[in-house]
Structure 1
């Protein structure tokens, strides 16, 4: 979760933000998120605004610049970026505030059809890929998967954690800081691992995915190789930093790969640190 508060911003930066919002009356920090040093809902004269900020020297500041670059091309299911402030070594982004809760991905959840509809709508809205500079999937997974299997012309989110979905008046997908241009089924494939982590069997997760047209069009070879590559990737991440959610995602990805008769390295039991 973010480790700084609104008041930690230099006064000049807060004043620059308030030139867009009016005086900030209150700031409620977010309880989730890992890419921003500050993430808070600001209550100001203009109404509520979601602000995320990071120092420009931080390695993840490039992800904030990416999000700012891609936002104008996104459909209304993504909150609109209203302003960008860069001052005193800080980069701050201001978005429309969206009320909502994170979805329940467990088997039988009433949220599952809405998530499927959201992914279907996004794949349609973002194909062909808008004319914005993003990393191709063939580069993102270079050395892990045959490039032609993930190549495509859809703008994909790629970070489909339930924390990036907000369910309220419809489903909104936030934090577009890791987009790629690739095959239209990629986000659905990534969601399958999240569903398995939430308690679905691999067969149940794929059955859910079958209602999303781009997934139905994915070749069996691409699915098999992608599942194996994700198992390798999550196992690598787990070994680099064995926090609980990475262990769980590695186990889920391995289960999916095994379902297709392929296996990445099995997660090894070990002590974990709290998130």
Structure 2
């Protein structure tokens, strides 16, 4: 992975800060908080351009707020609205932040959540923190069986074309085999709840493991029950950990057919190869760097597992 451009973890987003929100919206947020905001600490991980800050009132009260313009940041605004809807529908036992309120007017949407006193895992990964992140994935799987009524679609319907992505990957060795694996993944049962975006920057580790949570809940889909865990292990492999040894130990992955794991690695790799070719949006300059890094990690891990030279 040394020849792949690194992702600057924790500072990938270009976000608005408190003073640049419109006065009317600031007033509404302060009304919800019940105190005048005296400081805002931006959360600059992730790849969306929306506002995301821990706000502190003059009386010490805090709230984590996401906000986006429905005109200038329509995609982020839609994502925040959808995340609020899905947080409302999650069972209380899911390790997720508590939704406090939602504000929407003609121009802006803002979502307030209870502040989680935590931090993302260290990158490169260390094994203890990886195990804690995988425990979060396992808690999500347990708490969402049976799947809550949220109108979720299979990931194969939301993204689709997993095998077709490879047809545009000209001259890549083992392309045809990767395409066949990706196509086979689509045939697996997609009947388990999946966070679908479980990365290090979407997990907060707290003082006690019991308080660890996953964040950014706007992408849940139906998928295989182990997909979130494998997604976390892709970056662990890229950081130099023995991901296959971890697969063999964790309760969601240890009994999974290895061929099924390879199918998902091939499907996700094709998606990342395809998306990394696109031009990076100016308000998310590291999005394609992230995609290229993940594509390289996926291809390396899959090739190692398949014995490709």
TM-score bracket, shorter-length normalisation: 0.7 to 0.9
Q: 1:108 Cα deviation (Å)?
A: 4.9
> Which residue in 2 is equivalent to 1:34?
47
> Which residue in 2 is equivalent to 1:99?
117
Q: 1:143 to 1:150 in 2, by over 3 A?
A: farther
Distance, in Å, in 2 between the alignment partners of 1:215 and 1:142 is: 24
Distance, in Å, in 2 between the alignment partners of 1:46 and 1:108 is: 34
Name whichever of 167-176 and 142-151 sits farther off: 142-151
> Which residue in 2 is equivalent to 1:270?
none
What per-residue deviation string (whole Å, max 9, x for no partner) do you get for residues 177-220 of structure 1? 211122211101211211122222xxx21221333323234333
RMSD: 2.3
Equivalent residue runs for 1:199-238 within 5 Å: 199-200=240-241, 204-238=242-276
* Structure-1-length-normalised TM-score: 0.85
Query: 2:159 matched to 1:120?
Result: no
Query: 2:163 matched to 1:151?
Result: no
Question: Contact 1:194 / 1:249 at 8 angstroms: preserved in 2?
Answer: yes
Distance, in Å, in 2 between the alignment partners of 1:260 and 1:59 is: 37
In structure 2, stretches of 5+ residues that fail to align are: 1-12, 163-182, 281-287
Q: 1:69 to 1:108 in 2, by over 3 A?
A: closer
Query: 2:298 matched to 1:253?
Result: yes
What per-residue deviation string (whole Å, max 9, x for no partner) do you get for residues 37-86 of structure 1? 21111112472111011112312322212211111214352111100011
In structure 1, stretches of 5+ residues that fail to align are: 264-275
| Larger RCO (CA within 8 A; separation ≥ 6) | 2
Query: 2:52 matched to 1:14?
Result: no
Residue-pair matches, total: 260
Question: Contact 2:83 / 2:216 at 8 angstroms: preserved in 1?
Answer: yes
Query: 2:249 matched to 1:183?
Result: no
Distance, in Å, in 1 between the alignment partners of 2:247 and 2:97 is: 25
